[in-house]
Chains A and B, each alone.
Chain A
Amino acid sequence: MKYSLLLIAFLGAGSLMADEAPVSNITINCENPKTGETCQKSPTEVIDATGMDTVVSDVPKKDAFLAKGAEVRISVIGQGVAPMNTSSPAQAYALAKRAATADAYRLLAEKVKGVRIDGQDLIKNMMVQRSTVRTTVQAMVKNANVVETTFKEGLCEVEMEIVLAHSQFSN
């Protein structure tokens, strides 16, 4: 009799402990793009070690960057420098202009397509020995227009723009 009372008390304490354990609900909202029907997955109870409730839902849809019939004008200013050993100011201008054009093309490519960045730090004996950041851009730029070119004190600046239209990408 004494042992049976002890067993009942032990089981009751165990069930109380189980009720107090942290429980989290994970809710995933999804939508069928074809039918437009929303599907609600049944909430799943997951025991979370942190004891915090976790809710996962779809990332809200971004608005289209280029709406139908809309245009986006991207403008950049490229800079170029003339080399030291030029035979005439005209040559210096021509070479600096070419360099500035290349810089403007690079800036356009960076804005439209993006940049790849790789970084590497070498740390030895708790000290930074070498810190390297590499950036690369690779793109094809078409129909860029030169708006203005200025040349002042050996520095050439080329203002360039490109117009992106919805029709260019909707084939």
Chain B
Amino acid sequence: MRSRDGNRLSALSIFKLIFLFYSLALSAGEYLISYRYVTQNAILYNEVLSIAKAMHKCTGTPSSTLILESDGSDNLNQIISQNEDEFLSFIHALGLDVKHSEINTNLQNSSTTILTLKTTCFKVNFNDNFAKISPLN
């Protein structure tokens, strides 16, 4: 039979764990991200990075993870724009579709290259000062 003091101690430890959990994982969400850029004759022509909150639950398991500094913010657009180079390198490593066409007419050359990340669902956990981003495969 447990004493009253013992019960209080265990209840306190449970509350501590819950508090710790909520302080570490403030919020989490799923986002749809797509990226595309066009290069024409070796000059960057157009670049689009689209980020939107998913309106329904995504399926899949999180794979490779990127951790970005968020400074307490839970605005993914802002976090990514602050760490753009890092995020784009991460996206490149995930894999991009390459579509290249080159036309040579009467010995004059022109080329167009399109690199695309198809719309992919990412799970994002916003902690105190970090955002943990993982694609769902």
Contact residues of A with B, CB < 8 Å?
79-83, 95-96, 98-103, 105-106, 108-110, 130-144, 146
B113 within 8 A of A: yes
B75 within 8 A of A: no
Contact of A103 among B39, B103, B106 (CB under 8 A): B39
Interface size class of B (residues with CB under 8 A): 20 to 34
Report B47-59 CB contacts with A as 1/0, cut-off 8 Å: 1000000000000
A109, B105: Cα distance in complex, Å: 23
Please state if A139 and B98 are interface contacts (CB–CB under 8 Å): yes
What are 12 A-B interface contacts by the 8 Å CB criterion? A80-B43, A81-B43, A102-B115, A103-B39, A109-B98, A110-B100, A134-B104, A135-B100, A137-B99, A139-B98, A141-B96, A144-B93
- The residue on B at minimum CB distance from A143 is B93
Q: Given A98-B37, A143-B93, A138–B99 Cβ distance below 8 Å? A: yes
Q: Chain A contacts of B96 at CB under 8 A?
A: 105, 140-141
Secondary structure of the B contact surface, majority rule: strand
Q: Chain A contacts of B95 at CB under 8 A?
A: 140-143
Please state if A133 and B39 are interface contacts (CB–CB under 8 Å): no
Please state if B106 and A130 are interface contacts (CB–CB under 8 Å): yes
A45 → chain B, closest Cβ, in Å? 50
Q: Chain B contacts of A140 at CB under 8 A?
A: 95-98
Which of B44, B47, B92, B101 has the most C-beta atoms of chain A within 10 angstroms of its own C-beta? B44
A111, B40: Cα distance in complex, Å: 20
A33, B19: Cα distance in complex, Å: 66
B1 within 8 A of A: no
Q: Chain B contacts of A133 at CB under 8 A?
A: 103-104
Q: Given A99-B42, A102-B39, A102-B113, A134–B101 Cβ distance below 8 Å? A: yes
Q: Given A81-B43, A83-B43, A144-B92, A103–B97 Cβ distance below 8 Å? A: no
Report B94-131 CB contacts with A as 1/0, cut-off 8 Å: 11111111111111000001010000000000000000
Please state if A80 and B98 are interface contacts (CB–CB under 8 Å): no
Please state if B101 and A131 are interface contacts (CB–CB under 8 Å): no
Q: Chain B contacts of A141 at CB under 8 A?
A: 95-96, 98
A50, B107: Cα distance in complex, Å: 42
Given A132-B105, A139-B98, A142-B94, 6 more pairs with CB closer than 8 A: A95-B44, A103-B39, A110-B100, A131-B105, A140-B97, A146-B89
Please state if B42 and A81 are interface contacts (CB–CB under 8 Å): yes
Which of A99, A133, A135, A139 has the most C-beta atoms of chain B within 10 angstroms of its own C-beta? A99
Q: Chain B contacts of A83 at CB under 8 A?
A: 43-44
A108, B92: Cα distance in complex, Å: 13
Q: Given A79-B42, A98-B47, A102-B113, A136–B98 Cβ distance below 8 Å? A: no
